[in-house]
Structure 1
Amino acid sequence: MDQSLLVFIAVAEEQSFTRAAEALHMTQPAVSQHIQSLEAALGTKLLDRSSKYVRLNKAGDIVYRHAKEMSGLHTKMQRLLDDLLHTASGTLSIGASFTFGEYVLPHTIACLRARYPLITPTITIGNTKDIAALVAARQLDIGIVEGALPEQDKLKCEPFAKDLMYVVVGAGHPYAKRQDIEAEELLGEHWIVREEGSGTRTATEKMFEQYGIRPLNRMAFGSTQIIKESVEAGLGISLLSEWAVRKEISLGTLNRLTIAGQPVERDFSIITLRDTFHTKAAELFIEMVRTREGMPQQPT
């Protein structure tokens, strides 16, 4: 890949010629020369510079986004070529939404590392919307998310497992000793939900719609852990995956409830770019996920 583009990416991310030079083990004049050459070749300035800051202008933002995609493609090309000659190795960038990423993925990664020690995974945790965007932008090789994704031409979405979700209440809640509840009993409760873009938030909204529940009192938090702590503290109730609350259920600090005898179901799905080659490391990981190898047993 063109060296000037790599230097430009570093300057854009560090927002400093000096820090970019340090990161690239280059001199600052050499960094400046690469940027000048790139701007001359493209016929436009890419950076707004002052004594206090270095920032992308509109043209620079366009070049940065495409340069990052090109860098990702170049790295993947090298890894694919390496795979032809060597055993599975190299980096593997995996993104996962919070429920799978925090409560299931570590077990799969442990199994992957035990079987293929030359593969070095990097993990990004975010909500479903953000993980999908990173896969589409080639910043992640694979995404694992909960819930359905809107149809996208660039992404392939493959469901591989069911996730069971329950209404959860704290040990001091009036419903703490119950196993089942009717939907109308939930109308007056204070609900604690995830932020917009979260797969858990989407499942909660679908559940509200299915049962005709329109809670007047709700709070949105950006972390499942904060929601669990808040429910334990008696701030409200929530809808969470059984994977996320299995320890608290076993300890008795939370209680799970079905609605009219049924849990809420959603899919765990693998998302990848359509019509793209996968490295050997990615293929092995995807197959492990499909067969649930290394995953703990579904909570009961």
Structure 2
Amino acid sequence: MDTQSLQAFLAVADSGSFSRAAEQLHLTQPAVSKRIAGLEGQIRARLFDRIGRKVTLTEAGHMLLPRARAILVMVDDSRRALGNLSGDVGGELILATSHHIGLHRLPPILSAYVQDFPDVRLDLRFLDSEQAYQGVLDGDIEMAIVTLAAHPDPQLRVVPLWIDQLWFVACSNHPLSQQQELSLALLCQHDAVLPGPLTFTRQLINEHLASHGLHLKVGQSTNYLETLKMMVNAGLGWSLLPERMVEEDVARHDLVRLPVNIAPIRRPLGYLVHRERTLSNAARSMLERLDAARDGEAIDWDLPTLTT
């Protein structure tokens, strides 16, 4: 099996379409079909069922899928290991990050990195933290800088870099904005605007409220924190947003920090890489920069891993 055929197979399997796979691989659709046909000929089994415009994996396709991913990861890993022998810092670095971290934490680090290592082709991907986390697990992304899961997968090396304190905020004319002290019970009677229910941040918030026997009234959700801040400003509800993101708005009185009578809610931000992956020199150099930027509070942050 050649790697190009396996790449075509994975592209069709992931996208569910020969035409979308062709776009991703910068090939024509007949070229993708030819690679799939060649692969099917080698294994003497059909990999996809084509019914109308729908493309689905056959039983043989489902069996090949994880093996194809593992083969391509192994090939890439070997290339990186050999490339690292020269000691040069170059090549491609696929790095994923969330929009919030990309806007508020990374700019000075990235600016210095690209100046110091001009031969690195930085493929910067803005993804939800949960997507980036899965991308590192699957081997599609070399490293990610994201909101960290409460219980990281043991296959990942996870390093906290910064700790975000989350502030309860609302607009200045919100019914709760004049309160001198605010209970969680009263807060939960009002609509919130928060990240989606499957995000690490929302899960953290839900766990804190559940520990008090409370549940949220969520009016609207979006995973983009800048959009959440706009929705709070518009009076659509209260929210929990990072201090670093809203402190200027609070200072200008555009937003009000709500005096909720509980201990601060905090979330860790950091990087993650796969423990079994050989990192490129470009990735190792990036990790050195990130470690140097690590906050003292994050060094003591404990992240329990999942048990297997």
TM-score (norm 2): 0.79
1:236-261: CA deviations, max 9, x gaps?
10111123334534554223345338
**Cα distance change, pair 174–17 in 1 and its aligned pair in 2 (3 A):** closer
Aligned partners of 1:18, 1:149: CA distance in 2, in Å?
35
Q: Secondary structure at the match of 1:135?
A: helix
The correspondence of residues 86-105 of structure 1 with structure 2, limited to 5 A, is 86-105=87-106
Asked if structure 1 preserves the Cα contact closer than 8 Å seen for 2:8 and 2:25, the reply is no
**Structure 2 counterpart of 1:4, which letter?**
S
The answer as to whether partners of 2:166 and 2:265 remain within 8 angstroms in 1 is: yes
Which residue of structure 2 lines up, in the alignment, with residue 197 of structure 1? Answer: 198
SS at match of 1:235: coil
* Matched letter for residue 46 of structure 1: L
One-letter amino acid of the counterpart of residue 293, structure 2:
R
Deviation at 1:137, TM superposition (A): 0.4
1:129 pairs with 2:99: no
- Tell me the residue number matched to 1:236: 237
Unaligned runs of 5+ in 1: 294-300
Once the two structures are superposed, residues 111-147 of structure 1 have per-residue CA deviations (whole angstroms, 9 ceiling, x without a partner) of 2112212222223333333222111101111122224
Q: How does 1:167-206 map to 2 (within 5 A)?
A: 167-176=168-177, 181-206=182-207
Q: Report the CA distance shift for 1:175/1:110 in structure 2 as closer, same or farther (over 3 A).
A: farther
Alignment-derived partner of residue 293 in structure 2: 292
Q: 1:22 to 1:124 in 2, by over 3 A?
A: closer
- Which residue is 1:277 aligned to? 278
For the residue of structure 2 that corresponds to 1:85, the secondary structure is coil
Q: CA separation in 2, counterparts of 1:143 and 1:50? A: 37
Structure-2 change in CA distance of 1:170 and 1:70 (3 Å): farther
Does the 8 Å CA contact 1:94/1:143 hold for their aligned counterparts?
yes
The residue type equivalent to 2:282 in the other structure is A
Shift of 1:166: 0.5
Matched, 1:214 2:205: no
Q: Distance in 1 between matches of 2:272 and 2:24?
A: 36
Cα distance in 2 between the residues matched to 1:193 and 1:200: 9
The yes-or-no answer on 1:16 pairing with 2:18 is yes
Superposed CA RMSD in Å reads 3.3
Letter in 1 for 2:91: G
Q: Unaligned 5+ residue runs, structure 2?
A: 295-308
Q: What is the alpha-carbon distance in structure 2 between the residues aligned to residue 17 and residue 204 of structure 1?
A: 41
Q: How does 1:23-102 map to 2 (within 5 A)?
A: 23=25, 28=30, 32-49=33-50, 52=53, 54-102=55-103
Tell whether the 8 Å contact from 1:156 to 1:274 is kept in structure 2 after alignment. Answer: yes
State how far apart, in whole Å, the 2-side matches of 1:198 and 1:23 are: 30
Instruction: Report the TM-score, using the length of structure 1 for normalisation.
Output: 0.81
Distance 1:220 1:10, change over 3 A: closer
